[in-house]
Structure 1
Amino acid sequence: MDEHELASIVNAFIASQRQLLLMLELLKNDTKRITHIPYETRHRIRQLAYFRMIHGSNLVCRQSTRMDRRCFAILCHLLRTIAGLTSTKVADVEEMVAMFLHILAHDVKNRVIQREFMRSGETVSRHFNMVLLAVIRLHQELLKKPQPVLNDCLDQRWRWFENCLGALDGTYIKVNFPASDRARYRTRKREVATNVLGVCDTKGDFVYVLASWEGSAADSRILRDALSRPNGLKVPKGK
Structure 2
Amino acid sequence: MNRATFDKLCLMLDVIGGLKPTKNMLVDEQVAMFLHILAHHLKNRVIRFYFGRSGETISRYFNLVLTSMMKLNRELLKKPEPIAEDSMDEKWRWFKHCLGALDGTHIKVKVPMADKARYRNRKGEITTNVLGVCSPDGQFIYVLTGWEGSAADGRVLRDAISRRNGLKVPQGQYYLVDAGYTNCEGFLAPFRGQRYHLSEWRDGRQPLTPRECFNMRHSSARNVIERCFGMLKLRWAILRSPSFYPAQVHNRVIIACCLLHNLIRRQGDDPLDIDIEALETNTNDMEIPYIQTIETSNAWANFRDTLANEMFVELMSHRGSM
TM-score by length of 1: 0.63
Q: Which residue of 1 aligns with 2:6?
A: 76
- Which residue, out of 134, 139, 142, partners 1:205? 139
Query: Which stretches of structure 1, 4 residues or more, deviate above 6 A after TM superposition?
Result: none
Q: Distance in 2 between matches of 1:89 and 1:130?
A: 15
Which among 167, 174, 177 is matched to residue 101 of structure 2? 167
CA distance in 1, matches of 2:96, 2:155: 27
Q: Distance in 1 between matches of 2:4 and 2:75?
A: 12
Counterparts of 1:97-108 in structure 2, within 5 Å, are 97-104=31-38
Cα deviation per residue 1:134-170 (whole Å; 9 max; x = unaligned)? 2122212220210110111121111110000110011
Alignment of 1:26-175 (within 5 A): 69-70=1-2, 73=3, 75-84=5-14, 85-104=19-38, 109-175=43-109
List runs of 5+ in structure 2 lacking aligned partners. Answer: 174-322
Q: 1:182 to 1:103 in 2, by over 3 A?
A: farther
SS in 1 for 2:65: helix
Residue identity opposite 1:138 in structure 2: L
Name the counterpart of 1:194. 128
Which whole-Å CA distance do the structure 2 matches of 1:186 and 1:108 have between them? 25
Q: Contact 2:10–2:31 at 8 Å: present in 1 too?
A: no
Unaligned runs of 5+ in 1: 1-68
1:161-181 per-residue CA deviation (whole Å, 9 max, x = no partner) reads 000011001111111111111
Query: Cα gap change, 1:199/1:161 in structure 2, threshold over 3 Å: closer, same or farther?
Result: same
1:184 aligned to 2:103? Answer: no
Q: Does the 8 Å contact 1:79/1:138 carry over to 2?
A: no
TM-score by length of 2: 0.48
String of CA shifts for 1:171-195, please: whole Å, max 9, x gaps: 1111111111111111111111101
Please point out which of 129, 132, 153 is paired with 1:219.
153
- Post-superposition offset of 1:113: 3.0
CA contact (8 A) 1:80 1:86 kept: no
- Provide the C-alpha distance between the structure 2 equivalents of 1:204 and 1:157, rounded to a whole number of angstroms: 13
- The aligned counterpart of 2:170 is 236
Quote the Cα distance in structure 2 between the aligned partners of 1:186 and 1:75. 37
**Structure 2 letter corresponding to 1:174:** K
User: Retained in 1: the 8 A contact 2:142–2:167?
Assistant: yes
Letter in 1 for 2:9: L
SS in 2 for 1:209: strand
In structure 1, give the amino acid aligned to 2:33: M
Q: Secondary structure at the match of 1:83?
A: helix
1:104 deviates by 4.0
- d(CA) in 2 for partners of 1:148 and 1:232? 18
CA distance 1:174–1:105, change in 2 (3 Å)? farther
Letter of the 2:81 partner, please give it. Answer: Q
CA offset at residue 236 of structure 1? 0.2
Structure 2: distance between partners of 1:91 and 1:221: 44
CA distance in 1, matches of 2:92, 2:39: 33
SS at 2:112 equivalent: coil
Q: How many residues align?
A: 169
- Identity level (%): 59
Change (3 A) 1:75 1:180: farther
